[in-house]
Amino acid sequence: MLKDFEYFAPKTLKEALALLDKYQDECKVIGGGQSLLILMRQGLVAPQYLISIKGLSELSYIKDAKEGLKIGALTTHRAIEKSPVIQKKFSVLAEMERRLASIQTRNWGTIGGNLCHGEPAGDPAPVLMALNATLTTTSLRGERNMAVGDFSRDYFEVALEPGELLTEIQVPAAPPHTGAAYTKFNIIESDLATVGVAVSVTLGAGDGVCQDVRIALGAVAPTPIRAKKAEAVLKGKKITDNLLKEAGEVASTEAEPISDIVASEEYRRELVRVLVARVGKEAFARAKA
Amino acid sequence: MKKELKLTVNGQPYELYVKPKTLLVQVLRDHLGLTGSKRGCNDSSCGACTVVLNGMAVKSCSILALQADGAEVLTVEGLARGTELRPIQKAFLDHGAFQCGFCTSGMLMASTALLLENPKPTKEQIKEGIDGNICRCTGYNSIIRAVTAVVKGEYKEGK
């Protein structure tokens, strides 16, 4: 059963920030709320004040500029999945969204809400980390910018200060010869990742040498993590199947998974080993194309 | 403290006063008596509570009613026109697309939203469209066959 709370539905960002500033720790922000309501039902979160920002249309947008993509925090998963510009230029984001939960959930849930929930098995964070995305938080005190990877702090814990709202996600335009891919392993298609792997590869012009690579893993640590040692295996080298296999092996040692009802620690490490090589190969193929 | 909620459900406008913690599915079932939408898992896994909100399928167990303030909601009760069933309902009947029937309203509403968005879905797209809905009588194939029959135009809208 849900506990009672007081409810506000501000009409503007300014109003929302004023409420957040007033109620600080005693309030919780609700976007779509599909994750938050589960925690509230379990009694894990019991806010006195709930501030619904779902109606703030000013935070629902997808803007494509020269420097990259800007996504308003309240853009729904479904809007990202269906966006022609994202499908064309940042297809890995659309592919990730298409596998996030079910259509119903994607219709109502927002990208910002997903990130703020801090679920280590969430799909968007590792993909955004591989794409070197940043985000902006806003409060009455002003704005802060940080890498998506620095936003996650711990299980269900993010870097938001009291009074702060996540307002925008920025995905930089990829350099030429860049390819990115994501996959997750899960038993039920609409479920969270047992393990999720996102890879972005940038190749040198013509020589096929890996100039830059970012590997991000979901559901293998308290937060999504970069597999930096595995990245070092690939960086500066010509990518081959053997090298990708080695990167997978290294990544599986970097992961710190837990055993739970979904999978054992060993099984998750094995998934990391296999999926890093597989997703890396796909990203490499896309970078060459 | 109760708050005012304005909703249009199946074309009928309502003005209610609800506690903020009231879920959309509770308003539909307990306040309006529209018990076709089922409260199954209660955590957006099963899809039995699926309704069409402003043209898109959502799970009404995972939405606060106040968050739907001002919205237009279509529930399974709003499908039939009087006693005339809609094509998707007739197709479900003809194809035996249910056994116990608990998932049926959700399946119908997920299918309805799918066909609103894409009147000619492929089999894969139909599967994706009902991916958020669980049927424990293993009726998926007959449900897919029913939706496919509607897509093929085998059922005409009643007059």
Q: Which residue of B has its CA nearest to A102?
A: B132
State whether residue A49 sits within 8 Å of chain B by CB. no
Is the pLDDT assigned to residue B129 strictly greater than 60? Answer: yes
Reported confidence tier of residue A1, pLDDT bands at 50, 70, 90: confident
Is the pLDDT assigned to residue B138 strictly greater than 80? Answer: no
A105 and B44: CB-CB below 8 Å?
yes
The pLDDT assigned to A193 comes to: 96
Cα separation of the two ends of chain A: 53
pLDDT tens across A79-129, in order? 999 999 999 999 999 999 999 999 999 999 999 999 999 999 999 999 999
Q: In DSSP terms, which residues pair with A28 in a beta bridge?
A: A50
State whether residue B110 sits within 8 Å of chain A by CB. yes
B131 and A107: CB-CB below 8 Å?
no
Question: Chain A interface, mutation test: which of B24, B67, B105, B111, most A Cβ atoms within 10 Å?
Answer: B67
From edge to edge, which strands make up the β-sheet containing A68-72? A62-65, A68-72, A165-172, A134-139, A142-147
Percent above pLDDT 90 for chain A: 96
Question: Chain B interface, mutation test: which of A34, A53, A103, most B Cβ atoms within 10 Å?
Answer: A103
pLDDT tens across A231-259, in order? 999 999 999 999 999 999 999 999 999 99
The pLDDT assigned to A129 comes to: 98
pLDDT tens across B3-32, in order? 999 999 999 999 999 999 999 999 999 999
For the domain spanning B87-151, the CATH number is: 1.10.150.120
Q: What are the residue boundaries of the structural domains of chain B, listed by start?
A: 3-78, 87-151
Of B47, B63, B66, the CB nearest to A102: B47
User: What's the whole-number mean pLDDT along residues A55-79?
Assistant: 97
pLDDT tens across A148-179, in order? 999 999 999 999 999 999 999 999 999 999 99
A190 and B132: CB-CB below 8 Å?
yes
User: What's the whole-number mean pLDDT along residues A1-7?
Assistant: 94
- Interface size A-B, in CB pairs within 8 Å, comes to 81
Convert B33-79 into a string of H (helix), E (strand) and C (coil): CCCCCCCCCCCCCCCCCEEEECCEEEEHHHCEHHHHCCCEEECHHHC
State whether residue B125 sits within 8 Å of chain A by CB. no
pTM confidence score: 0.97
Is the pLDDT assigned to residue A288 strictly greater than 60? Answer: yes
Question: ipTM for the complex?
Answer: 0.96
Domains of chain A: 6-52 (3.30.43.10), 59-172 (3.30.465.10), 178-288 (3.30.390.50)
Q: Which residues of A182-212 are buried (b: 16+ CB within 10 A; e: fewer)?
A: bbbbbeeebebbbbbbbbbbbbeeeeeebbb
Helices (H), A72-208: 77-82, 84-89, 91-98, 103-108, 111-117, 124-130, 148-151
User: What's the whole-number mean pLDDT along residues A132-149?
Assistant: 98
Is the pLDDT assigned to residue B159 strictly greater than 60? Answer: no
CA distances from residue B126 to B29, B45, B79, B130 in whole angstroms, order as listed = 28, 18, 19, 6
User: What's the whole-number mean pLDDT along residues B126-133?
Assistant: 96
Residue A214 three-state SS: strand
The pLDDT assigned to A188 comes to: 85
- CATH fold of the domain at B3-78: Ubiquitin-like (UB roll) (3.10.20)
Question: Chain A interface, mutation test: which of B21, B24, B103, most A Cβ atoms within 10 Å?
Answer: B21
Is the pLDDT assigned to residue A207 strictly greater than 90? Answer: no
Reported confidence tier of residue A205, pLDDT bands at 50, 70, 90: confident
User: What's the whole-number mean pLDDT along residues A25-43?
Assistant: 96
Question: What average pLDDT does chain A have?
Answer: 97
User: What's the whole-number mean pLDDT along residues B130-144?
Assistant: 93
pLDDT tens across B57-102, in order? 999 999 999 999 999 999 999 999 999 999 999 999 999 999 999 9
A7 and B3: CB-CB below 8 Å?
yes
